[in-house]
Amino acid sequence: MILFVIVALCALIGAVGVVIAREPVHSALFLILNIIALAVFYIVLSAEFLAAAQVIVYAGAIMVLFLFVVTLLTAGKEDQQRSESLKGQRLAAGVLAVLAGGGLAIVAVFNPSRPGLLPLALPRNFGNLSGMGAILWGPDFVYLAAVALMLLTAAVGVMVLNRPRPAPEANPKVREREL
Amino acid sequence: MSSALWPEYLVVIGVMVTMLTVIFSQKSGIGAYFVALAALIASGIVSIVEWSSPNLPVFLFDHGVMVDAFSLVVNGLVLLAAAGALLIGWNDRRYGSDFPVLVLLALLGMMVLGLADNFIALFIGIELLSLPLYILAASRGTQVSGEAGLKYLLLGAFSSGILLFGLALLYGASGTMVISHLVPSHLVLPLAAGGLGLTLVGLVFKLGIVPFHMWVPDVYEGSPLPVTSYMAFGTKVGAAAILMRFLFFGFSLSSGWWGPAVGYLAVLTMIVGNLLALAQKDLKRLLAYSGIANAGYLLVGIASHNIQGARALLFYLLAYGLAVLAVFAIMTFVAQDRDSVSVNDLTGLYRRSPWLAGFLAIALLSLAGIPLTGGFVGKVYLLQAAWFANQPGLALGLVVGAMIGLAAYVRPLQRAFSAPDGAVLEPIPWPWAGSIVLIVAVIGTIGLGVYPTPIVHIVNQSAAFYWLH
Amino acid sequence: MIPLNWVVGLAAALFGIGVVGVLVRKNPLIMFMAAEMMWNAAALVFVAFARSFHAMSGQVMAFIIIGTAAAEVGIGLAIIVSVFHHRHRLDIDEVSRLKG
Amino acid sequence: MFLVWLLAVPLAGAIAALIAPNRAAKGVAAITSIVALIGYAGLLFINRSSVNVPWIPQWGIRFHLVADGLSLFLLGLSVVLFVVAIVASNRDLGRPYYFWLLFLEFSVAGLFVAVDLFVFYVFWEVLLVPVFFLLTGWSGEKGKKAAMKWLIMNLAGSFFMLIGIVALAVIHHQDGAGFTFEISKLSGMAMAPGIGSWLFLAFLVAFAIKAPLWPLHGWMPDTYRESPAPLTALIAGVLSKAGIYGILRVMIPIFMPQFREYQTLLLIIATLGLLYGAFLALRQTDMKMVTSYGSLSHMSMMALGIFSLTRAGLLGTTYYMVAHGLMVGGLFLVLGLLEHRTGTRSLRDMAGLNHSAPRLAFYFLFFVLGVLGLPGLPGFAGEYMIIQGLITSHFLVFALIAGFVLVVAAWYMIRVFQAVMQGPAKSSAIRDLMTRHVVWLVPLAGLVILIGVWPAGITSHATPSLYHAMHFVGQGGGVRL
């Protein structure tokens, strides 16, 4: 229970930090804290493989990418620290979201999920590498393939979005009509 | 490898071959378009063959996906949308040579949405559909296009988050991932209610229903024209298909939970969407709001929760899609090197290109729901569904919305048929690929209006929710 | 053993904070991170319920979420870079000539 | 199958006019309309010609057309007026103009013979489109606005009717009687009183807007003012009859209980419209608007005939629609010729034109007298039967008011004639009619005289059809026959 409180606090601090940090770099660091706290939960919840994946993919790859972009975009630019003012509409949306999230949390805490009619022990290999492997390379392979396609899409996307382009103004007749 | 999934496999193969073509023929890039088109045609043929095969429905991957007549009709619709987008943007260098690859990838997502029977497939479908479209929206490389992509991305990620959390709660409430195994009476209520609500919000976000429609006009306006046509038609098909699957399979027995909410959203969307369309000067924004309103019409089919609703939804998707393809093809012709068309640009279109003006009239009148066009028959079908469900409110909302929308569609028409203000206007060239789309779409629109019987037959056979009546 | 309800409650709180972040912040990078947080919260719920049902499907879903998030971040950051790399401030309101 | 050809001819002609060179367009259109007229003449010798083929079988929709006593003569009216309108149109108006006119003829013809509600509705709404484009492209300065008003008001009404049509079919289906849109099968159907009244209202509003009947005539002044003379003649002569015809064809068989329930209210509204139109006609200074408001008043007269729910009233309306269509169409065309020659429509700027244009004055007088109901000309017989119907149904007050309005009508019509034709000439002389005008004016006038002296030619055909239509209503509860 103490472990839960500590890790939950870490996760919450990370989450709140992401939202209120002034600079994107700090946000990113807070998000890493949050992600690692979640990874701890995954271990506790017998999802060892996911915990590893969470740390490697999220904290390792995704967040490094974030940090890289943040520094790329903000390096040497002075102006971006002007504090953001909360306009009415955003504030209202925020308050609404807080209420909804709080309500959701309360509902989740005080209403037990589906009452268990469960076998007592966890199945063998539950959540560890060989268990996940058996599923992902077995019956659920198709989902893995779909994720692979998405990563492929991302690769294509990065190529498309950052390819050199002809300057649109200088050369308006880019379009080919001979076909 | 199950043979039932060959349409999807063909698209995947198409993606691979198209990419190879792009890599090995850097210079011209035209080969990729032909390969992609071939993949579309092959997939379409296989879908048709499968539709007439007797051993449907097929469940695969432990109820992960379900191939039935419904999913095959969705296949047909999204293939049409993809072919339309591909031909409208045929060999257009501005979108890069990777355009066909991304179109095919998004197509795969839409097809998965038609098949999905569990939460994983649902989520994968949504993301496979969205990711390429984020890229496509930003692919023009101009500032506006990039901003459209950014807006789409942020709101897409946001709505996917809501959807995911809703699905997670539903998983907790039911203990199953499979949509058709959800048994409402066994659900843990508060969790299930929260989960259903959030999931609906997430899906409705993708469809562009009114309180969650803010992103639609901006994204449509900023995206390149062929991509916008793809979003307007294809995305709508996918989102409507999965919404219908999700509600009609998972929560069919408890329509009281969601029916009224969806009904109110439908009426709100139809009226607000059409009202906002009235004020638009940019044709793309006009179509964006019209798309919102049409999403509202689609919701009528869902909210009426009967077999007529399912059939009407499929029929209306086709009628709407054909009209939209025609309008976008015309817009591409008129826009030429630009990426937007204002209502004023249409002035004197009748003088410049009479046939184009005539086709525009047909397409817009179909959107407005005038008889002898597909839009009219579709609306009649939706009205029937609403009456069969004993919900006159839905019927009334549909009609009031259509009435408001009429004024919005007629204004560009009056522009197109009024004399130009003296400026010299040259005739508009017709690129061949776009012309194919335009002519097919116009013939289809008229055909649906004059003799809808075969299509009515197909959708009646395909709305495979046998417990409804 | 951690009570399941509390984990789900924590996830709901994280989700709510994420929603607030997307709605309130203007910096697209931070909005994007907040959205990632929402995804993470959902993944946590899936894992928690998977543990309670002794079923792996929830974990598969969580894995898919992580993989998809990776792809999405790749695309998203590419778009952000292409939009912002010659701009001064990161501000979603500044972005638009497109009005909301 | 004969009726299908009658529909196919204008449609084919429309496409031909679109493809033909600009100069030949009028010729193509004129030939097409004349062929249609000849075809119609053939139809007169076939008893109850009909077509009945499945269209959308899944919804029980059949392409069912019938030319019976109710529709036959209205079909004739439209075929004749289209010939006249096309012949009277300017030669250099171009292909699209004639395309839209012929398309209009196609949809009007379809409307008058359709007896399946779905088919009826398709034609009903399609005919708005050609008028919309004609108003947009070939009318006065405010034509675009008028076109918009026309389309939106009419569609507003008909969209509500669409709800009603679908509702009728679905209710019929839910009663276990099958899915159908056939008027004869839907008639006499039991409906819950609440829903019945709402559906009644939806249909009535749609038809009243098209007619137009007061107070739903909002589109009328602009449209009549802005549209070119042939189009005005068609709208006032043919399209407005579609509204009244709809009440007769669709509503009488289906909604008889509702008619009986609201009869007094309906009569009061129609009478108010009668007075409103007549008094506004008195106050106009634009000769076209006098005729327009007069026409509005006469539409209310036809509505009175129907709302009397008697045989004489219904028969009178059937007859009066044809007669009024021919005369008011002719009158608007003559007014168009006058306007073309003088360049004005204001009564203040014209006087004494009968000196320079006696033939024009003659035809003008002829149609004016016809419209005001001179005995011997058909307006009189129609109005007589309608008033007789009102008396039979013991609504004497309304009969008296109708009689009074006839006097007012004589007053405003004569006033126009006097202002334009008599007195000392104010302006320079104008050209009289030429042979190409007389060519279509003489047959039109002859036709008017023919049905005026021989009303039985129409009524003897219409009576059995009326009985036939009323038959479904159920004996005793329906019309006092």
The span from the CA of B296 to the CA of C31, in Å, is: 29
Question: D214 — phi, psi (to 5°)?
Answer: -60, 140
Interface contact flag, B138 C97, Cβ < 8 Å:
no
pLDDT in tens, A136-151: 888 888 899 999 999 9
Q: How far is CA B420 from CA A60, B333, B347, B425, D140, in A?
A: 61, 18, 6, 8, 17
Interface contact flag, C98 B151, Cβ < 8 Å:
yes
Can you tell me the mean pLDDT for C87-93? 57
Pairing of strands B58-60, D61-67: unpaired
Q: Does C96 touch chain B (CB under 8 A)?
A: yes
What value does the CA radius of gyration of chain B take, rounded to a whole number of Å? 21
The span from the CA of B216 to the CA of B219, in Å, is: 5
Helices (H), D284-430: 287-307, 311-342, 358-372, 378-392, 396-421
Confidence of residue B355 (pLDDT cuts 50, 70, 90): confident
Q: Does B376 touch chain D (CB under 8 A)?
A: yes
A chain contacts of residue B429, beta-carbon cutoff 8 Å: 177
The interaxial angle of helices B189-207 and B143-174, nearest 10 deg, is 160
B chain contacts of residue D163, beta-carbon cutoff 8 Å: 383, 392, 395-396, 399
Pairing of strands B58-60, B65-67: antiparallel
Taking CB atoms and an 8 Å cut-off, how many pairs form between chains B and C?
Answer: 131
B chain contacts of residue A176, beta-carbon cutoff 8 Å: 91-93
CA distance B320 to chain A (A): 29
The span from the CA of D295 to the CA of D290, in Å, is: 8
C chain contacts of residue B158, beta-carbon cutoff 8 Å: 19, 22, 31, 35, 38
C chain contacts of residue A98, beta-carbon cutoff 8 Å: 16, 20
Examine the pLDDT at A98 and tell me if it is beyond 80.
no
pLDDT of D157 reads 87
The span from the CA of B450 to the CA of D63, in Å, is: 11
The span from the CA of A157 to the CA of A162, in Å, is: 8
The span from the CA of A16 to the CA of D80, in Å, is: 81
Examine the pLDDT at A170 and tell me if it is beyond 50.
no
From the candidates A149, A165, A171, which should be mutated to test the interface with B, based on the most B CB atoms within 10 A? Answer: A149
Whether B75 is in a domain gets the answer no
> Quick one: which of D187, D259, D207 has its CA closest to D480?
D259
Whether B449 is in a domain gets the answer yes
Taking CB atoms and an 8 Å cut-off, how many pairs form between chains A and C?
Answer: 249
Q: Which of residues 404-423 of B touch A (CB under 8 A)?
A: none
Confidence of residue B297 (pLDDT cuts 50, 70, 90): very high
Whether B10 is in a domain gets the answer no
Confidence of residue C86 (pLDDT cuts 50, 70, 90): low
Q: Note the maximum CA span of chain B.
A: 71
Confidence of residue B162 (pLDDT cuts 50, 70, 90): very high
The span from the CA of D102 to the CA of D107, in Å, is: 9
Q: Are there at least 3 beta-carbon pairs closer than 8 Å between D and A?
A: no
Confidence of residue B299 (pLDDT cuts 50, 70, 90): very high
CB burial of residue A60 (10 Å; 0-12, 13-18, 19+): middle
pLDDT of D481 reads 45
Q: Coil, helix or strand for B442?
A: helix
pTM assigned to the model: 0.91
C chain contacts of residue A61, beta-carbon cutoff 8 Å: 70
Domain map of chain A by residue range? 1-75+126-167
CA distance A170 to chain C (A): 19
A chain contacts of residue B62, beta-carbon cutoff 8 Å: 139
> Quick one: which of B364, B442, B320, B438 has its CA closest to B84?
B438
pLDDT in tens, B180-233: 888 777 777 778 888 888 899 999 988 888 888 888 888 888 888 899 999 999
Q: How far is CA C29 from CA A81, A139, C46, D386, in A?
A: 14, 37, 26, 79
D7 or A116, which is more confident?
D7
Q: Does A9 touch chain C (CB under 8 A)?
A: no
Q: Coil, helix or strand for B178?
A: strand
Residue range of the domain that includes B265: 254-469
pLDDT of D177 reads 78
H/E element, B65: strand B65-67
B359, two tokens: 């086709």
Cis amide prior to D378 (ω within 30 degrees)? no
Examine the pLDDT at A169 and tell me if it is beyond 60.
no
The span from the CA of B167 to the CA of D17, in Å, is: 60
Q: A1-75+126-167 architecture in CATH?
A: Up-down Bundle (1.20)
Examine the pLDDT at A12 and tell me if it is beyond 80.
yes
B201, two tokens: 């919000």
Are the C-beta atoms of residues D252 and D311 closer than 8 Å to each other? no
Measure CA A158 to chain center. 19
Residues B380/B386/B390/B395 CA torsion (nearest 10 deg): -80
Whether B360 is in a domain gets the answer yes
> Quick one: which of D176, D168, D174, D172 has its CA closest to D196?
D168
Whether B326 is in a domain gets the answer yes
User: Nearest chain C Cα to B214, which residue?
Assistant: C100
From the candidates B350, B383, B458, B469, which should be mutated to test the interface with D, based on the most D CB atoms within 10 A? Answer: B383
The interaxial angle of helices B236-245 and B99-115, nearest 10 deg, is 20
pLDDT of B21 reads 87
From the candidates B90, B191, B214, B334, which should be mutated to test the interface with A, based on the most A CB atoms within 10 A? Answer: B191
Domain map of chain D by residue range? 262-481
Interface contact flag, D167 B387, Cβ < 8 Å:
yes
Q: Does A97 touch chain C (CB under 8 A)?
A: yes
Cis amide prior to D375 (ω within 30 degrees)? no
User: Nearest chain A Cα to C16, which residue?
Assistant: A101
Interface contact flag, B108 A165, Cβ < 8 Å:
no
pLDDT in tens, C18-52: 988 888 888 888 889 999 999 999 999 999 888 88
Are the C-beta atoms of residues D355 and D425 closer than 8 Å to each other? yes
Query: Which of D128, D160, D166 is the closest to B384 by Cβ?
Result: D166
pLDDT of C13 reads 87
Are the C-beta atoms of residues D209 and D153 closer than 8 Å to each other? yes
Q: Given the structure tokens 């991170």, which residue do they identify?
A: C33
DSSP string, B20-54: HHHHH-TTT-HHHHHHHHHHHHHHHHHHHHHHT-S
Examine the pLDDT at C96 and tell me if it is beyond 90.
no
Number of Cβ within 10 Å of residue D125's Cβ equals 23
Low-confidence residues of chain D, pLDDT below 70? 47-48, 140, 427, 469-481
Provide the sign of the torsion angle of the four alpha carbons B29, B33, B36, B38, taken in this order. Answer: negative
Q: Does C21 touch chain B (CB under 8 A)?
A: no
Are the C-beta atoms of residues B232 and B221 closer than 8 Å to each other? no
D354, two tokens: 């009968």
DSSP string, D344-376: --BGGG---TTTT-HHHHHHHHHHHHHHHT-TT
C chain contacts of residue B168, beta-carbon cutoff 8 Å: 11, 42-43, 45-46, 49, 61
Interface contact flag, C45 B169, Cβ < 8 Å:
yes
The span from the CA of D247 to the CA of D439, in Å, is: 35
DSSP string, B179-223: GGG--GGGS-HHHHHHHHHHHHHHHHHHHT-GGG-THHHHHHHHS
D chain contacts of residue B370, beta-carbon cutoff 8 Å: 125-126, 128-129
Average pLDDT, chain B: 87
B chain contacts of residue C31, beta-carbon cutoff 8 Å: 154, 158
> Quick one: which of A132, B200, A41, B155 has its CA closest to C41?
A41
Can you tell me the mean pLDDT for C72-76? 91
Are the C-beta atoms of residues B107 and B11 closer than 8 Å to each other? yes
A83 or D194, which is more confident?
D194
Q: Coil, helix or strand for D477?
A: coil
Provide the percentage of residues in chain B whose pLDDT is more than 70: 96
Q: In residues, how long is chain B?
A: 469
pLDDT of D335 reads 87
Can you tell me the mean pLDDT for B108-118? 91
CA distance C75 to chain A (A): 5
Residue D58: which residues within 8 A CB-CB, separation 6 or more? B453, B456, B457, B460
Please write down the HEC assignment for all residues of C37-86.
HHHHHHHHHHHHHHHHHCCCHHHHHHHHHHHHHHHHHHHHHHHHHHHHCC
Examine the pLDDT at A113 and tell me if it is beyond 60.
no
A59, two tokens: 């904290």
Query: Which of C14, C54, C67 is the closest to A122 by Cβ?
Result: C54
Taking CB atoms and an 8 Å cut-off, how many pairs form between chains B and D?
Answer: 79
> Quick one: which of B278, B269, B218, B239 has its CA closest to B81?
B239
B450 or A80, which is more confident?
B450
Whether B331 is in a domain gets the answer yes
Confidence of residue B119 (pLDDT cuts 50, 70, 90): very high
Q: Coil, helix or strand for D402?
A: helix
Are the C-beta atoms of residues D255 and D342 closer than 8 Å to each other? no
pLDDT of A176 reads 40
Are the C-beta atoms of residues A49 and A129 closer than 8 Å to each other? yes
Examine the pLDDT at B322 and tell me if it is beyond 90.
yes
pLDDT of A87 reads 61
Query: Which of B372, B403, B451 is the closest to D159 by Cβ?
Result: B403
Provide the percentage of residues in chain B whose pLDDT is more than 90: 38
Examine the pLDDT at B129 and tell me if it is beyond 90.
yes
Q: b vs e for B403-415, b when ≥16 Cβ sit within 10 Å of the residue's Cβ?
A: bbbbbbbbbbbbb
User: Nearest chain C Cα to B213, which residue?
Assistant: C100
Query: Which of C39, C60, C61 is the closest to B161 by Cβ?
Result: C39
